Amino acid sequence: MKYMFKILTAFLIIAALSCSGGHREEPGGYVIPEFYHSPEEINEFLDEMYALNSAITRIETIGRSVSGREIKAIIISGDPVEPGTKPRIRLTGGIHGSEIISAELMVYFIRYLVENYDTDSDIKSLVDSRYIAVIPVLNPDGLAVAGRRNDNGVDLNRNFSSTWVSGYGYGTGPFSEPESQALRDFSIGENGENFHLSLTFHSGAVLVNIPFDYVSEIEDGIVPAENNLVREFAFAYSMAGTFLDNPDLFDPLRLENGIINGGNWYVISGSLQDWSYLETGCLDLTVEVAKRSPMTIEGVEQVFNYNRDSIIAYIKKGGQGVYGRVTHAGAGVTGVEIKLTHVAGLLSAGDIIVRTDAEGYYHRILLPGNYTLSFEKTGYTAESINVTVPDSDYGILENIELTP
């Protein structure tokens, strides 16, 4: 009885503190400064951004958490309804709810784009020419209590299907959790957005983590077949703006201009990054933006400033490559696989396989150079094209007609 009385007393003290202003207090004792947005406040913020900027934004509820909280995405684009041939970029925060700065960074970036659209010609050009989907918080149950896992006790960044293994906190199987299912269904499938480039934000260090997570480049000698492309896109992030000026930058001896192979840092299975690259043809980088979540507004603003220009540079670079529409008799052909079969000067083919969306549109990120691409779908005669990709953030247009 005395033990229960002590627990009740402690609970009442915590409740009193949390109501006294200045911060939220969660059961584990993690103090969350009041200026950070709760999951509900983030959704209210997204609705407000849409209400004030409906011409360039769209809100989509992509799923619900274990405890029923809405998981929302905001689309920011010159045409937020029809992406067409625009490069499609996905930004995700809050996959680990304890890393509260990752969700707050998304709030800051969304506000920056929409509030500067009418006054900054560079931002207007970026928004008009890209299709940017931001999921500020994938794990709202975790964020509500600053807990790493979801309400089933699962680490969502171990629950994706690529290289998934069973283990404590990894889920009962790949995509066992509604949150990882929501991101999967939003990204691919019959009604998926078919993203070409993405960033997933974390905290705990300052670095850009590149594929793969499931093996170490140093110990296993395994890297993406298109490792040059992966690294150049990562450098586009790390070397823009002031990212490398962050005094909390991870051990410089283990980084190359701010980037590191995921497995060289530490090996994990079932990560969002590896699934995105290996199974959806979307290059995803894991960006660690802060050693710890700042406890002041000024600290949050500083983290945003270290990463703002990097995010913009990465989104711009997403326009590189080949884009267009695959049709038959004037109608778009969905699910066509676009494969890199030859790269001038290299022996190996590519390992990023993209697919046309429901309307037949595609975009394949590529570095400048000469390539051979094949377009394949069961029931149609495969087509191949030779392309010279220019050194441009707007790529080259190649429309393809398939015949049964």
**What pLDDT is attached to residue 326?**
98
Peptide bond preceding 212 in cis form (omega within 30 of 0): yes
**What pLDDT is attached to residue 14?**
33
Q: Read off the tokens for 48.
A: 């407000």
Strands 70-77 and 131-135: antiparallel
Query: Cα–Cα distances in Å, from 126 out to 122, 130, 199, 205, 394?
Result: 6, 6, 17, 29, 11
Each of the 404 residues of the chain gets a pLDDT tens digit; together they read: 333 333 333 333 333 333 333 334 334 445 789 999 999 999 999 999 999 999 999 999 999 999 999 999 999 999 999 999 999 999 999 999 999 999 999 999 999 999 999 999 999 999 999 999 999 999 999 999 999 999 999 999 999 999 999 999 999 999 999 999 999 999 997 678 999 999 999 999 999 999 999 999 999 999 999 999 999 999 999 999 999 999 999 998 899 999 999 999 999 999 999 999 999 999 999 999 999 999 999 999 999 999 999 999 999 999 999 999 999 999 999 999 999 987 766 656 799 999 999 999 999 999 999 999 999 999 999 999 999 999 999 999 999 999 99
Picking from 106, 113, 160, the residue whose alpha carbon sits closest to that of residue 274 is 160
Give the SS3 label for residue 326.
strand
Q: How far apart are CA 274 and CA 264, in angstroms?
A: 14
Q: How far apart are CA 202 and CA 204, in angstroms?
A: 7
**What pLDDT is attached to residue 12?**
34
Give bridge partners of residue 371 from the DSSP assignment: 343, 387
Q: Read off the tokens for 352.
A: 């990023």
Computed on alpha carbons and rounded to an integer, the radius of gyration of the chain in Å comes to: 22
- 195: which residues sit within 8 A by CB, 6+ positions away? 88, 89, 90, 133, 187, 276, 280, 282
Residue reference for tokens 């500083």:
302
- 250: which residues sit within 8 A by CB, 6+ positions away? 205, 206, 207, 260, 288
**One-letter identity of residue 12:** L
Query: Cα–Cα distances in Å, from 315 out to 137, 196, 207, 242, 310?
Result: 20, 10, 18, 16, 9
Picking from 374, 195, 206, the residue whose alpha carbon sits closest to that of residue 306 is 206
pTM of the complete model beyond 0.75: yes
Q: How far apart are CA 125 and CA 366, in angstroms?
A: 21
**What pLDDT is attached to residue 16?**
34
Q: How far apart are CA 317 and CA 337, in angstroms?
A: 22
**What pLDDT is attached to residue 346?**
60
Q: Read off the tokens for 31.
A: 């103090």
